[in-house]
């Protein structure tokens, strides 16, 4: 591709000036080292393409974990005027409401060190993982499913998965309003309903993690974390339900783009005006898929809690597992942010990016409101993950958005070729002290640490830019994958 003109605004922000059909500039949060490792690849062109869409406001943004994706770059953020803008499935992705949740426990590393393999085997048995497959609960009826899709995580809590208090620690309370089961393709029900309470494949995981660094002790204690605390992280999304929903609406949106005369720089950015019937149907179906994902993670929390208690011989009360927060990082939803000095209602697309609301924002749970929204940033399965909080500057500079992970730097196919013939499970234990259990060796090869950027460098960029602040670092000791 042709070289993209880049203007460095600071040591951690680069701008792509408006050119051609771009309606706004592009803005990338990245150091020179990250840009050099990323190279002038297609993801930069994707930042420019997104800037051409109707109704976009401010900037076409990319977080430091950005890399090539479908239509939008993964790590991309774009805000569209709620009246004059568009919604694009490429700005959400196939795995609608892919997200991550973090739970703390009363256990320490010493409590589990000697029985780690037994614990992992128990969780591996109880939570299905891998491509396709079933879930960990009985498939609900169509009537129950419609209730699930409109009520979100509360549906799972009422059935004994987790606690009522969990709902206060999930983005949007675990439920996006406006879900319309009637807009969901029938095939989504067929694929997804049997998968509730399952991890899936790819970069999804359940990890046992140990807090090994605390940057803000007082805030960490508010979250119930201190050094050596055992935590559980779950990264998963809407499984086949969301994938099928996205797949079918891409065809709808491609036709809509032509019907409404939208000039697309890339057909993968197919979209429709937010006022159109096509957009309303997509939003209703996408919100339903997002609620499915909230239910999926909530069910897994309940199953993992019981499995961990069983494997350690603890009661649920002694275990003390409590949800710190659950965030989605593949979503489009309506939020109000300040633009040019005044509040403006926007349809905010975050694809591989996490909401990072500043302190005192009304959408933050009351118990955390003075701190800022918790932000969960998983790294790779060998190094570390981070708990952050949103900073006041995020609301002004990035529509309250920050990074979502380490960011892939090597493709899945390249990793499988490079690692052919190696004992990856042994390698993870000997080199990283991480016990890995998975259904597929290829899945492990695709997700080895060398496939990813250094997550520490990624979160440091966002801290230096004043967007999100580090609270604690968590080191994986065991990882379950598909």
Closest Cα to residue 203, out of 379, 75, 330? Answer: 379
Q: Say if residues 477 and 208 touch (Cβ distance below 8 Å).
A: yes
Task: Indicate the pairing of strand 26-29 with strand 56-67.
Answer: parallel
Q: Say if residues 235 and 204 touch (Cβ distance below 8 Å).
A: yes
Token pair 């965030």 is found at: 327
Q: Say if residues 452 and 406 touch (Cβ distance below 8 Å).
A: yes
d(CA 222, CA 471): 11
Residue 205's DSSP bridge partners are 235
Look up residue 259 and give its two tokens.
Answer: 């019907």
Any alpha helices (H) in 4-158, and if so which ranges?
Answer: 32-38, 42-50, 109-112, 116-126, 142-151, 153-158
- Those residues with Cβ within 8 angstroms of residue 118's Cβ, 6 or more apart along the chain or in another chain: 311
Helix, strand, coil abundance in the chain, percent, nearest 5: 40, 25, 35
Residues present in the chain in total: 482
Can 243 be counted among the known catalytic residues?
no
Any alpha helices (H) in 269-367, and if so which ranges?
Answer: 277-312, 316-319
Instruction: Tell the burial category of 114 from Cβ atoms under 10 Å away from its Cβ (0-12, 13-18, 19+).
Output: exposed
Q: How far apart are the first and last CA of the chain?
A: 35
Query: Any idea which residues carry the catalytic annotation?
Result: 404
């Amino acid at each position: 591709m042709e070289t993209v003109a880049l203007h460095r605004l600071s040591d951690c922000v680069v701008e792509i000036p408006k050119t051609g059909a771009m309606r706004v500039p592009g803005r990338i949060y990245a150091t020179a080292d990250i840009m050099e490792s990323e190279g002038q690849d297609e993801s930069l062109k994707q930042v420019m393409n997104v800037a051409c869409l109707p109704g976009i406001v401010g900037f076409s943004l990319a977080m430091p974990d950005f890399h090539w994706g479908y239509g939008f770059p993964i790590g991309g953020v774009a805000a569209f005027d709620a009246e004059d803008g568009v919604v694009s499935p490429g700005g959400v992705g196939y795995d609608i409401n892919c997200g991550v949740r973090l739970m703390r426990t009363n256990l320490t590393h010493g409590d589990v060190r000697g029985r780690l393999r037994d614990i992992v085997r128990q969780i591996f048995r109880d939570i299905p993982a891998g491509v396709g497959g079933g879930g960990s609960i009985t498939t609900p009826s169509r009537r129950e499913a419609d209730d699930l899709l409109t009520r979100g995580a509360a549906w799972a809590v009422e059935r004994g998965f987790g606690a009522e208090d969990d709902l206060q620690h999930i983005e949007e309370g675990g439920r996006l309003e406006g879900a319309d089961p009637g807009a969901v393709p029938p095939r989504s029900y067929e694929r997804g309903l049997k998968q509730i309470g399952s991890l899936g494949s790819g970069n999804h995981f359940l990890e046992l993690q140990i807090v090994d660094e605390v940057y803000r002790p007082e805030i960490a204690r508010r979250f119930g974390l201190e050094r050596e605390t055992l935590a559980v992280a779950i990264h998963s999304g809407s499984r086949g339900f969301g994938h099928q929903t996205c797949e079918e609406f891409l065809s709808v949106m491609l036709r809509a783009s032509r019907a409404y005369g939208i000039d697309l720089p890339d057909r993968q950015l197919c979209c429709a005006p937010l006022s159109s019937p096509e957009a309303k149907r997509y939003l209703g179906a996408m919100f339903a898929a997002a609620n499915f994902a909230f239910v999926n993670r909530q069910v897994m929390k309940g199953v993992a809690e019981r499995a961990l208690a069983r494997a350690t011989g603890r009661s649920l009360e002694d275990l003390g597992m409590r949800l710190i927060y659950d965030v989605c990082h593949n979503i489009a939803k309506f939020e109000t942010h300040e633009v040019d000095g005044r509040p403006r209602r926007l349809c905010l697309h975050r694809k591989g990016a996490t909401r990072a609301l500043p302190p005192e924002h009304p959408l933050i749970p009351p118990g955390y409101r003075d701190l800022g929204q918790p932000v969960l940033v998983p790294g790779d399965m060998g190094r570390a993950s981070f708990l952050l909080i949103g900073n006041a500057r995020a609301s002004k500079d990035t529509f309250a958005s920050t990074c979502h992970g380490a960011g892939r730097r090597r493709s899945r196919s390249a990793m499988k070729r490079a690692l052919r013939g190696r004992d990856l499970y042994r390698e993870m234990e000997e080199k990283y002290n991480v016990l890995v259990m998975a259904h597929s060796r290829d899945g492990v090869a695709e997700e080895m640490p060398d496939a990813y950027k250094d997550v520490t460098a990624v979160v440091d960029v966002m801290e230096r830019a004043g967007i999100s602040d580090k609270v604690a670092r968590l080191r994986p000791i065991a990882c379950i994958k598909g």
